[in-house]
Amino acid sequence: MYAFTFHRPQTVRQAAGLLTKNGDAKLLAGGQTLLPTMKLRLAGPPQIIDMTLIEGMSGIEQSGRTLTIGAMTTHNEVNTSPVVQQAAPVLAKLAGMIGDPAVRHRGTIGGSIANNDPNADYPAACLGLGATIVTNKRRIKADEFFTGMFSTVLEPAEIITKVIFPLPKKAAYQKFRNQASRFALVGVFVSKRGSEIRVAVTGAGSNGVFRVKSFEEALKKRFSPKSLEGMTIPADGMNSDIHGSAEYRAHLVGVLARRAVAEAIGKPAA
C-alpha cells in the first residue's frame, strides 16, 4: 500500500466537496475491492474518503411495493434482513452468495454497483429488477447506469446514496460460480412484475451486465422454463478465458435462465 491521506467526512456533501477538490481521491465504502488493489499497489490514491461516519447512508426500508437500500448497507445486512427476506427473498439470497462472511460483513451494495465488476452479483439484481440508483446529484435508471466493464455513468464527484428496487412478483437468481474467485462465471437474474419481464446476465458479457431481450420476449408469452427451451444467445461478445470459453458462457446463460425461471415459479431447478 502507498501512503495516503485519510478523510472521514460526516455528510455526503462534505464527501462530495472533498472529491471535487481532490481529483485523484477515492471513496472508501467496505473496501473489499479498493483495499486489495491498494495492497497489491495496483491503485495508490493519495486521498481516501471514508464514508463510514456519514449518517443515513445505510439501512433498509420498505414502502409499498418498493424497497430502498442505503448505499453503505453491507451484503450481510441485506442477506439477514427480515424485511428483505420477506419483501424480496431473491435479494437476500443473492447478497448471501457474495464472497465469504468477512467480505459480506464489510462489502456494500453501493460499492458493488459503483465498481460494476463484470462478474459481480448486484449489477444483475439492479438490471434484473429495474432498480433506480440514487446519487447525491440525480436518480439513474439501472438500464442507463451500467456502461461496460468497471464503468458506469457516475461522474467524478458523484456518490451513490441509495438504491430503490421495485418489488417483483416472481424473481430468482442463478449463480454459476467461478471455482477460483467464487464470483459469477455466469449469473442470470429473472423477474416478473406485472407485464414487465427482465432477464439480466452478469459474468458472461465482455461488456459487463446486460439484458437478454430475446429471452424476455419469449417469457412474456409464458413465464415458464419451457418458453426458453432450446434458446441460446450468440457467443459473440461473451468473455473467454481460462475459466470458460465464450461458447460455454453463452450456453450457460440459457441453462441458468431456464433454471432461474423454474425457481421463480417455485419449481425445483433441475
Partner 1 sequence: MSGTGIGAAVRRKEDQRFITGKGHYTDDINRPGQAFAYFIRSPHAHATIKSIDAKAASAMPGVVAVLTGAELATDKIGNLICGWMIHSKDGSPMKMAAHPALASGKACHVGDPIAVVIAETLPQARDAAEKVKVDYAALPAVADPAAAQKSGAPQIHDIAPNNTIYQWHLGDAKAVDAAFKSAKHVTKLDIVNNRLVPNAIEPRAAIGDYDSGAGTFTLWNTTQNPHVARLVIAAFVGMAPEHKLRVIAPDVGGGFGSKIFIYPEEVVALWASRRVGRPVKWVAERSEAFLADAHGRDHVTHAEMAFDADGKITGLRAKTVANLGAYMSTFSSSVPTYLYATLLSGQYEIPHIYCEVDAVYTNTVPVDAYRGAGRPEATFVVERLVEVGAREMGQDPAELRRKNFIKNFPHQTPVIMTYDAGDYNASLKKAMELADYKSFAKRKRESARHGKLRGIGLSTYIEACGIAPSQAVGSLGCGVGLWESAEVRVNPTGSVEILTGTHAHGQGHETTFAQVVSERLGIPIENVLVVHGDTDKVQFGMGTYGSRSGAVGMSALVKALDKVEAKAKKVAAHLLEAAEGDIEFKDGKFSVAGTDKSAAWGDVSLNAYIAHKFSGAELEPGLKEGAFYDPTNFTFPAGCHICEVEVDTETGNTEIVAWTAVDDFGVVVNPMIVEGQVHGGIAQGVGQALCEGAIYDKDGQLVTGSFMDYAMPRANHLPTLTVDTTMTKCPSNPLGIKGCGEAGAIAAPAAVINAITDAIGTENLAMPATPATVWAALQKTGMPRAA
Ligand X SMILES: Cc1cc2nc3c(=O)[nH]c(=O)nc-3n(C[C@H](O)[C@H](O)[C@H](O)COP(=O)(O)OP(=O)(O)OC[C@H]3O[C@@H](n4cnc5c(N)ncnc54)[C@H](O)[C@@H]3O)c2cc1C
Binding mask 110-129 for ligand X (x = CB under 6 A): xxx-xx-x--xxx-------
* Site for ligand X, residues 3 to 32, rule: CB under 6 A: 26-32
Segment interacting with ligand X (CB under 6 A) among 79-87, 108-116, 228-236, 249-257 = 108-116
Nearer to ligand X, 10 or 65 (CB): 10
| Binds ligand X by CB under 6 A, chosen from 18, 60, 71, 228 | 71
Calpha distance 28→50 (Å, rounded)? 5
- Classify 229 in phi/psi space as left (phi over 0), alpha (psi -120 to 50) or beta: beta
Residue 42 binding result from partner 1, ligand X, none, given CB thresholds of 5 to 8 Å by partner type: none
Residues 6 or more apart whose CB falls under 8 angstroms from that of 259 comprise 174, 188, 225, 269, 270
Which residues share a beta bridge with 175? Answer: 187
Residues numbered 24-43 forming contacts with partner 1, rule: CB under 8 A: 40-41
**Nearest distance from C-beta of residue 211 to ligand X, angstroms:** 18
Q: Rank residues 162 and 192 by Cβ distance to ligand X and give the closer one.
A: 162
Q: Which does 31 bind (CB under 5 to 8 A by kind): partner 1, ligand X, none?
A: ligand X
Residue 76 binds which one of ligand X, partner 1, none, with CB within 5 to 8 A depending on kind?
A: none
Residue 70, binding choice from partner 1, ligand X, none, Cβ under 5 to 8 Å by partner class: none
Site for ligand X, residues 165 to 184, rule: CB under 6 A:
182-183
| Binding-site ranges for partner 1 (CB under 8 A) | 1-3, 40-41, 176, 178-181, 242-245, 248, 251-252, 255, 270
